[in-house]
Amino acid sequence: MPARRRPRYRGEVEPHPDATPAPALDAVPLPRPPQSPPRSPTAHPTSTAERGSFCLAVCACGWKGPARRSRDLARQDAAGHESAAGA
């Protein structure tokens, strides 16, 4: 008697019926720092935001650094943007 063959994997996975689908990264807004006193127009306050396992630097002017796995590199990106914008 020949052995039964298992069906080949076709790259499709049925979602769990009770699972909530995760939103796309672009659909989730970046966290904004709380409102602070007005700064000078040349100030570029930066912070870091985490998206999953990635960290990126963001600025109040709308600039975003590249997504990085290292928080330290994201902080360096933020410092570089502050110094470049202040120059």
What is the distance of C-alpha 74 from the center of its chain?
11
pTM for the structure as a whole: 0.50
**pLDDT for 36:** 64
Two tokens, residue 18: 């009770």
Residue 60 identity (one-letter amino acid): A
> Which DSSP letter does residue 65 get?
P
The 3-state DSSP class for residue 77 equals: helix
18-71 pLDDT per residue, tens: 877 777 777 767 777 777 666 555 677 889 999 999 999 999 888 999 999 999
